[in-house]
Amino acid sequence: MLLGEHKLALKTEAFALSPRFEGIDSLGLYLHVPFCRQICPYCPYNKELFHVVLAERYTEALLKEIDRYSAILGGLPVTSFYIGGGTPTTMLHTGLPGILDHIYRRFNMQCGIHMESHPNDLSPANLSTIVAMGVEHLSMGIEALQDRHLRTLCRPYSAAEAQAVIARAVEKGFECVNVDLIFALPDQTHEELELAARVLIELGVDQIAAYPLFRFPYTQWAQLAQQHHYRSYGLLQKRRMLRVLEQAFYGAGYARTSVWAFTKAGSPKYCSVTVPLYLGLGASAGSYLRDIFYLNTFNPEAYIQALTDGRMPIALSLELSERMQMAGWLYWRIYETRFSKEDFERRFHLPLDAVYGRYLRLLSFLGLLTEGEDEVVLTDAGAYWLHTVQDLFSIDYISKLWGTSRQTPWPAEIRL
Ligand SMILES: C[S@@+](CC[C@H](N)C(=O)[O-])C[C@H]1O[C@@H](n2cnc3c(N)ncnc32)[C@H](O)[C@@H]1O
Ligand code: SF4
């Protein structure tokens, strides 16, 4: 049960797209690149091995999807743009520059680009290509800074190579360089974590997104963990590890800017979507348009086929009641760790206190957030409990939704 809704099911029902964009004054854009040069055993994302021919056909399909939306969007301002994956940098020389060019011609883009990358793709020449493409915020999946943990995760580089790549990216002058770090790795010590944080701070990284290792049942990690007897960490152990990171980053002048992320004072934040409503392009991309959430098919071949046949690649959708929209809005704003009550009222024409006042008072009483006249701010304890709730519930939801969608290109229905 989700905040008053008795069941949540994504279905295949057809719906008219154009009316869903009416009344929207700005949008975020997400582009999914479902290719990687290797498949990491712990990774839940929608991806498969990179092949040039498939990437070229995927590019053609994306151009068609962009054209379809451009006819609907007209001049609607796009105020944030995120390229995620998989590994977007696999397509750096196969399609990506042309796709971006098409997007900037067809949509009213009023923003720079945030993009994910793999450390092994960040040669000096590739970094220059990335800057030339208009990427201002670059994220890289470093994951760990000790060789033994990189080996456990099957990452194809050493800690020394990772540090060299980070230094190169920082020198390049991006507005924001984000490094992803995974903690709660098998046998990881507090000293190792502290050392990793210190290295990142010294290298001048703008933001660090630190996630505990989530165990998705449909990834290969489950088998590996059994085979190597990797033990799971308890809640308190993970809390202590996160505290080691918090202390290191706060001590160096970084502030928490989302449940997972610590950003250096004066640096802009790196994040996936900065506006509440967004449009997703590509296989498995999701779109959230006020009263509907929908997902494209996860399978790149099915995605390409649909667009080649002149159909939209939408596989599943979920109509959102006013109550669900409010709950979704609140969840994502809390996730960003601070928000204004006035923004809620502007969006839903109801005071936040009238809808969620007693829940906020309870969370405030428990020390999980602080409430001012207008601003609500998540505390460190609140951020940790949000981690935990995510760990318990959303992994289950994501596993059902992503696990099924990866197996079946056009599922009839997925009940969460
Ligand atoms: C799309 S990847 C980043 C870009 C690129 N593909 C790479 O691996 O370098 C997104 C990030 O999600 C995080 N991630 C993936 N699987 C995870 C898991 N099971 N638990 C925690 N974090 C995970 C990693 O930090 C990873 O860098
Ligand atoms: S962690 Fe990155 S490189 Fe590894 S499979 Fe996932 S998306 Fe691909």
pLDDT digits (tens, 9 = 90+) for 175-233: 999 999 999 999 999 999 999 999 999 999 999 999 999 888 889 998 999 999 998 88
Q: Which one of 40, 182, 233 would you pick to mutate in the ligand 1 pocket, going by the greatest count of ligand atoms within 8 A of its CB?
A: 182
Q: How far apart, in whole angstroms, are the C-alpha atoms of residue 115 and residue 138?
A: 5
Ligand 2 contacts (CB < 6 A) are: 36, 39-40, 43, 45, 47, 85-87, 118, 141
Mean pLDDT value of segment 44-48 = 94
Q: Which one of 33, 45, 121 would you pick to mutate in the ligand 2 pocket, going by the greatest count of ligand atoms within 8 A of its CB?
A: 45
Query: Do 159 and 150 meet the contact criterion of CB atoms below 8 Å apart?
Result: yes
Q: How far apart, in whole angstroms, are the C-alpha atoms of residue 272 and residue 115?
A: 9
User: Element (H or E) spanning 264, and its range?
Assistant: strand 261-264
Whether the pLDDT of residue 389 is over 80: the answer is no
Can the peptide bond before residue 86 be classed as cis, meaning omega within 30 degrees of 0? yes
Instruction: With 0.95 as the threshold, say if the pTM is over it.
Output: no
Instruction: Determine the distance separating the centroid of ligand 1 and the alpha carbon of 162, expressed in angstroms.
Output: 15
Q: How far apart, in whole angstroms, are the C-alpha atoms of residue 15 and residue 315?
A: 11
Confidence of residue 164 (pLDDT cuts 50, 70, 90): very high
36 CA: nearest ligand 2 atom: 8
36 CA: nearest ligand 1 atom: 6
Mean pLDDT value of segment 152-165 = 98
Residue nearest to atom 6 of ligand 1 (CA): 87
Say which residues have a Cβ less than 8 Å from residue 193's Cβ, sequence separation at least 6.
183, 241, 244, 245
